[in-house]
Amino acid sequence: MKVVTFGELMIRLQPYNYERFVQADHLEFTFGGGEANVAVSLANYGLDAAYVTKLPAHAIGQAAVNSLRRYGVDTSMIVRGGDRVGIYFNEKGASQRGSVCIYDRAHSAIQESQPSDFDWDKIFEGVDWFHFTGITPALGPNLVETCKEACKAAKAHGVKISCDLNYRGKLWTREQAREAMTELCQYVDVCISNEEDAKDVFGIEAEAIIDRVGGGDSFGGGLIYALLNGKSTQDAVEFAVAASALKHTIEGDYNMVTVAEVEKLAGGDGSGRIQR
C-alpha cells in the first residue's frame, strides 16, 4: 500500500532543553512539517510513504530531503527550485507555560510554487491514499489551487483522501479558511480535527480534545495506517491515540515508534518498563 502526503517541510530551530528564546545562545536544528511528519510515521510502520513538496536545490534543501530519506520516505517526487526553506522557531513549554511557535516562512519555495510544478497524474500512479492538512492551502491562493488539483487527480485515480484541518490563525483568517476548506473537503474521505479547528474553520462545537505539538500528526499517521490495514473504526482510533501519546515521549517533529510499540500501548500496556 502506498500513501502520498503533500505540504511544506521546514527548518525547526529550538532552544536546548526548556530555555526561553531570550535565554538561548544555541539552537537545535531539525526539520519538520505536518504532512512530512505523517509520512515518516507511515514509513516507520512499514508502508510505502512518499512526500511531495518543493525545496531549493541548495545544500539546506538537500539536508531537508535527506532528513526524510533516512527514515525510508520516498522523496523522488519532490520538486526542486525556489530560494529558501521555511523556518519556524519553537520554544518548548513546561508545566503551565505553553509552547511558543514563531514562523519565518514567507517566500519559501513551496509558498511561491505554482500548480503547474506538480504532475499529480504521475504522482498518484499506484497510490492508495493521499493526505494533506489545512496548513498547506493557508500558504496562499496558489496552494489552494494546487491542493484542489491534487484532490481532483486523486479522485480520478481512485485514491482515498484524508485532511487534518490544522487551522493556523497566523497564516489566514477564519473566513479564508472556511471558504477554502469547505471547497477542498468535498473531496475528503477522512477529516481529522480537534475541537478548536472544527470551531474555527466550520463553526462546529464539540467536547474538548487534548492535542500537543506533533501529537496531531502522529494521530493522523496512526489513523491512516490503521484504516489502510482494515482495522475497525474504534480500533483505528485507539491505535491513533496510542501513537499520539507515544509521540509526546519523542523529541523533534518525527514520531520514532514502531507498530508493535503502538499496539502494545493501545492494548493497555502503558507501564513504560524496560523491555528485556
* Tens-place pLDDT, residues 109-157: 999 999 999 999 999 999 999 999 999 999 999 999 999 999 999 999 9
- Name the residue with higher pLDDT: 194 or 223: 223
H-helix or E-strand spanning residue 217: helix 215-228
Q: What is the pLDDT of residue 65?
A: 98
Please provide residue 162's backbone torsions phi and psi, each rounded to the nearest 5 degrees. Answer: -125, 150
CA distances from 18 to 11, 14, 25, 53, 205 (A): 19, 9, 13, 31, 33
Summarize the confidence of residues 37-53 as an average pLDDT.
Answer: 96
Q: What is the pLDDT of residue 275?
A: 47
Tell me the three-class secondary structure of 123-151, residue by residue. Answer: HCCCCCEEEEECCCHHHCHHHHHHHHHHH
Q: What is the pLDDT of residue 97?
A: 85
Summarize the confidence of residues 7-14 as an average pLDDT.
Answer: 96
**Distance (Å, whole) CA 187 – CA 260:** 32
Q: What is the pLDDT of residue 197?
A: 62
In this structure, are residues 193 and 230 in contact, taking their beta carbons and an 8 Å threshold?
no
Is residue 26's pLDDT more than 90? yes
User: Any bridge partners for residue 31, and if so which?
Assistant: 11
Length of the chain measured in residues: 276
H-helix or E-strand spanning residue 177: helix 174-184
Range in 66-70, 142-146, 255-259 with the lowest mean pLDDT: 255-259
Is residue 194's pLDDT more than 70? no
User: Any bridge partners for residue 88, and if so which?
Assistant: 12, 103
**Distance (Å, whole) CA 262 – CA 205:** 30
Write the burial class of residue 201 (CB in 10 Å: 0-12 exposed, 13-18 middle, 19+ buried): buried
Please provide residue 95's backbone torsions phi and psi, each rounded to the nearest 5 degrees. Answer: 55, -125
Confidence of residue 102 (pLDDT cuts 50, 70, 90): very high
In this structure, are residues 43 and 169 in contact, taking their beta carbons and an 8 Å threshold?
no
In this structure, are residues 134 and 105 in contact, taking their beta carbons and an 8 Å threshold?
no
Kindly provide the b/e burial profile for residues 252-272, where b requires at least 16 CB atoms within 10 angstroms of the residue's own CB: bbbbebebebbbbbbeeeeee
Q: What is the pLDDT of residue 199?
A: 63
Please provide residue 260's backbone torsions phi and psi, each rounded to the nearest 5 degrees. Answer: -60, -40
In this structure, are residues 142 and 108 in contact, taking their beta carbons and an 8 Å threshold?
no
